[in-house]
Structure 1
Amino acid sequence: METTPSESSSTPSTTVPKKKKQRLGWIEWIRGWMYIIYEMLFQRIMASHLQNPLSLPPINNLTCIVTGSTSGIGLQIARQLAESGAHVVMAVRNTKAAHDLIHKWQSEWTGLGLPLNIEVMELDLLSLESVSRFAEAWNARMGPLHVLINNAGIFSIRGYWRFPSITACHGIEEGWMVAHCDLFMSSSPVFSFVQMVCFLQMDRSNAQTVEGSAEMKGPQKFSKDGHEEHMQVNHLAPALLSILLLPSLVRGSPSRIINVNSVMHYVGFVDTEDMNVVSGKRKYTSLVGYTGSKLAQVMFSSVLHRRLPSESGISVLCVSPGVVQTNVARDLPKIVQAGYHLIPYFIFNAQEGSRSALFSATDPQIPEYCELLKSDDWPVCAFISQDCRPTNPSEEAHNIDTAHEVWEKTLEMIGLPSDAIEKLIEGEDVRCRYGERQE
């Protein structure tokens, strides 16, 4: 029987709720890994136009805070900024190591007979209370902050790293190679790349088995605040620090918040109902924790970029250092050590990996570029690649709905009210659950 238009319009419609995304789709996952492999193989060619070390303009008028600046990329960033004239604050957990570095740098410095303008402040990103204390101490100076570089991050592998042997990848045997690791690494896709190669060589019917096997095993670690440690160190703590330092960044306007991210965010996924990966819906691995935290950082930065008024003069951007060599190969299985020896040409050293952050901190066109993205309603913040050129973050980073959920959930997890940004920009007081009142 045919239905008349009037009958059709009177019939109540039922809306099927959209199913919440549980993980990256196959196409997104494969595309993400292809981008990572491409980046690793061709990053040196793409960045061949850059000097090493990167030439910086005189920046005597800048005050810069650099987290995680006692080793690796952060060390290079802090030293090169200081040698170019900036007032550098090394925000670190190991203050003795930082003071030793400063003493060494001062003894080697020959520039104009003036000492490097560097100081040390204690900051432990595994404690949100420490982050709040740091911000309170800095804001109390009532001075300007021109550049905040959230460099510190971890890729923690504790316990046992297990993956199929090469023959097992072809289904010939089921033996395991087991290596004991206790590592803290900067972004290094090499280990994940080995895992992915094994995964892709398996028959599709065995994919679930390998996905649960070719992973970095070990107990899931939490901060004393109750958050999964990758999520806290790589995302939550830098987010809290960035927001609480807004009063000083406004005083230093035009100023910049630079988040050292990772190409690994291209295979990351964030479940806003389970950001600590404890519900059991997804099996926790170090790779899941790391990539998810880096994607969360891009999403949060994108919303922060949109919410900060142009009048504040604060630019927010993420940078990729590229695939950077770490000092952990000697502790890893021989197959991974062999990989390091086979591809040394492709991997950046720490000085090369610091260039994108240094460029973003000093290039005069960065504020204009960030404002252009905002005026064009681009859904993500500026993302600077390892070759110091703008690039596009992952497809999942463009998920606006999830980004806003990440924003709201992050504010809840770090103990800030939903209107914290607006209040701090206007000079009003904001109370953080993990510290004293901020103003």
Structure 2
Amino acid sequence: MQGWTTDDMPRLDGTTVVVTGANSGLGYEGTLAFAEKGATVVMACRSVDRGERAADDIRRESDLDESDMDLDVRECDLASLDSVREFAEGLAADYDAVDILCNNAGVMAIPRSETEDGFETQFGVNHLGHFALTGQLFPLLEAAEGVNGAARVVTQSSGAHEQGKMDFSDLNWEQSYGKWKAYGRSKLANLLFAYELQRRINDAGASGEDGGENDGLSLRSVACHPGYAATNLQHRTAEESGNPLMKVGMKAANAVLGQDAATGALPMLYAATADVDGGAYIEPGGFMNMRGTPTVGRSNDASYDRGDAQMLWEYSEEATGVEFPI
């Protein structure tokens, strides 16, 4: 995969891709790349207006004729389980299958707040919203032919997962709150979910070998992180902090350390379209895995803790009311 770029992506004609947070940053660049390869891209956005503006920008930016790009902007607010459910129901009514689901949207290091359903926002949006979305789209993923032999669930994490620690006595930070600690936990939760999903897919396939309902299940769960990509995420974090020094620091860090969003999107695109194993972790292969083109790496030991993964799964099912059919 040395030097892998969007030029190495296969054609995606006839496939359906769902990208959360598609209106900016990594989601925007991923949507552009998928659409230019011929996919129908469902842009799952909290704001339909911002999503439509982004879709217009993508059409103008692409070398393709506007009529050759199939972009479907739909509302999906990951901070609302009702919104996630309505999005999934609408998709099931209009599409027969989803070949690729990119769990990309997220919030980073914001002051403590709660989602519509009472969850701490970083944990609720970054993990629980995507958990619920994946579970409710699972029948469409099962029905897909996929890419390179399998449909994909791609979950975007971060190098910040290494600072995350699971505390099942206070998952929603009601006893104490540190915005960066909460972000790290949410990104660790992304990985625990991605790897546990693949284990359950493997177990379902094994149990279906004798003709059970999951016989022939062709689906892969893959995790990724973008490295240090200069996107709106840092700007939003600085704005919500209310700290002028953070604004200056984030701007300087983006300029010195950051790679552009198009390069930051490559691990997600590789995870979604290349021939990678389920349970893989795709990251930049350059300096400190913060820059460069994609490579298969390894996340920290805590992300592979099966006990924590099972506890998180059980909590997530109870919290969201969403159960996976595997």
State the TM-score, normalizing by the size of structure 2: 0.84
Q: Give the partner amino acid of 2:227.
A: G
Q: Which of the numbers 60, 71, 75 marks the counterpart of 1:118?
A: 71
**Contact in 2 for aligned 1:109/1:115 (Cα 8 Å):** no
**Residue of structure 1 aligned with 2:80, choices 127, 131, 134:** 127
Asked if 1:232 is matched to 2:124, the reply is: yes
Q: Closer, same or farther in 2 for the Cα pair 1:335/1:404, shift >3 Å?
A: closer
Deviations 1:195-222 (A, max 9, x none): xxxxxxxxxxxxxxxxxxxxxxxxx211
2:281 aligned residue (372, 383, 387): 383
Match of 1:325 among 230, 234, 242: 230
Whether the 8 Å CA contact 1:255–1:315 is kept in 2: the answer is yes
Structure 2: distance between partners of 1:340 and 1:104: 24
How does 1:104-253 map onto structure 2 within 5 Å?
104-111=57-64, 114-158=67-111, 220-253=112-145
What does 1:232-311 align with in structure 2 at a 5 Å threshold? 232-253=124-145, 254-278=150-174, 280=175, 283-308=176-201, 309-310=204-205, 311=216
Q: Is 1:403–2:309 an aligned residue pair?
A: yes
Aligned partners of 1:69 and 1:91 also within 8 Å: yes
In structure 1, runs of 5+ residues without a counterpart are 1-46, 159-219, 371-380, 423-439
Question: Post-superposition shift, 1:98?
Answer: 1.6
- Rate the CA distance shift 1:101–1:344 in 2: closer, same or farther, 3 A: closer
Residue identity opposite 1:312 in structure 2: L
Q: What is the distance in 1 between the residues matched to 2:19 and 2:296?
A: 22
Following superposition of structure 1 onto structure 2, how do residues 335-346 of structure 1 map, counting pairs within 5 Å?
337=248, 340-341=251-252, 344-346=255-257
Q: What is the rounded CA distance, in whole Å, between the counterparts of 1:291 and 1:147 in structure 2?
A: 25
Aligned residue number for residue 57 of structure 1? 10
Larger radius of gyration between Structure 1 and Structure 2 = 1
**Distance (Å, rounded) in 2 between the aligned partners of 1:106 and 1:81:** 12
In the alignment, the residues of structure 1 paired with residue 25 and residue 10 of structure 2 have an alpha-carbon distance, to the nearest angstrom, of 22
Distance 1:339 1:86, change over 3 A: closer
Other structure's SS at 1:344 match? helix
**Partner-residue secondary structure (3-state), 1:403:** helix
CA contact (8 A) 1:383 1:391 kept: yes
Please, which of 315, 318, 323 is the counterpart of residue 412 of structure 1? 318
In structure 2, relative to structure 1, the CA distance for the partners of 1:108 and 1:397 (3 Å cut) is: closer
Partner Cα separation in structure 2 for residue 109 and residue 317 of structure 1? 27
Shift of 1:242: 0.5
Cα contact 1:106–1:115 (8 A) shared by 2: no
**Contact kept in structure 2, 1:67 and 1:92, CA below 8 Å:** yes
Give the deviation of 1:390 after TM superposition: 1.4
Distance in 1 between the 2:250 and 2:319 partners? 39
Equivalent residues of 2:156, 2:190 under 8 A apart: no
When residues 296 and 105 of structure 1 are mapped into structure 2, their CA distance, relative to the original with a 3 A threshold, is closer
What amino acid does structure 2 have at the position aligned with 1:74? Answer: G
State the SS of the aligned residue for 2:101. strand
- The answer to whether 1:101 aligns with 2:5 is no
Compute the TM-score of the two structures, normalised by the length of structure 1: 0.63
Asked whether the equivalents of residues 120 and 172 of structure 2 are also in contact (C-alpha less than 8 Å), the reply is yes
CA deviation vs aligned residue, 1:120-145 (integer Å, no higher than 9, x gap) = 11101110011111111111235111
Letter in 2 for 1:405: M
Relative to structure 1, the CA distance from residue 110 to residue 325 in structure 2 (aligned partners, 3 Å threshold; closer, same or farther) is closer
Cα deviation for residue 49 of structure 1 reads 2.9
Q: Contact 1:236 / 1:410 at 8 angstroms: preserved in 2?
A: yes
When residues 326 and 275 of structure 1 are mapped into structure 2, their CA distance, relative to the original with a 3 A threshold, is same
SS of equivalent residue, structure 2 residue 185: helix
Q: Is the 8 A contact 2:154 2:268 kept in 1?
A: yes
3-state DSSP of counterpart to 1:352? helix
Amino acid at match of 1:384: I
Letter in 2 for 1:400: R
2:102–2:155: 8 Å Cα contact kept in structure 1?
yes
Deviations 1:294-336 (A, max 9, x none): 1112112211111123322110011010011245298554477
Q: Is the 8 A contact 2:154 2:222 kept in 1?
A: yes
* Residues 346 and 146 (structure 1), Cα distance of their counterparts in 2 relative to 1, 3 Å cut: same
1:226 and 1:113 mapped to 2: Cα distance? 41
The CA RMSD over aligned residues, in Å, is: 2.3
1:157 positional shift: 2.5
Write the letter of the residue equivalent to 2:299. P
> Does 2:217 correspond to 1:312?
yes
SS in structure 2 of the partner of residue 385 of structure 1: strand
Task: Provide the identity percentage.
Answer: 27
Instruction: State the 1:111 CA deviation.
Output: 2.7
CA contact (8 A) 1:319 1:386 kept: no
Q: How many angstroms apart in 2 are the aligned matches of 1:237 and 1:133? A: 13
